[in-house]
Structure 1
Amino acid sequence: MLHTPPTFMLGLFFLGLLLCIGRLYKDTWDRIPKRTVRG
């Protein structure tokens, strides 16, 4: 395994978690009918 600093691994984990949550949030947001749609 690569010898990476804990902060880097934590940041990578955080990024992955944020991406997963963002995707779920976007999927849920798309299901909700919006009154005003802004590009």
Structure 2
Amino acid sequence: MVELDLEYIQDASVMNDLNIILKTVAIIFKSNGSY
């Protein structure tokens, strides 16, 4: 987990944040078998 945090800090940008948000939204809508 710490490695991911350090990678995020090193590559901090608005585009990186948008990419994370879009991936999160896609996962929410593709969830199978969740509540």
1:8 partnered with 2:13: yes
Q: How does the TM-score come out when normalised to structure 1?
A: 0.49
Q: How does the TM-score come out when normalised to structure 2?
A: 0.54
Runs of 4+ that moved beyond 2 A: none
Structure 1 unaligned blocks of 5 or more: 1-6, 31-39
TM superposition shift of 1:19? 0.2
Residue identity (%): 5
TM superposition shift of 1:12? 0.1
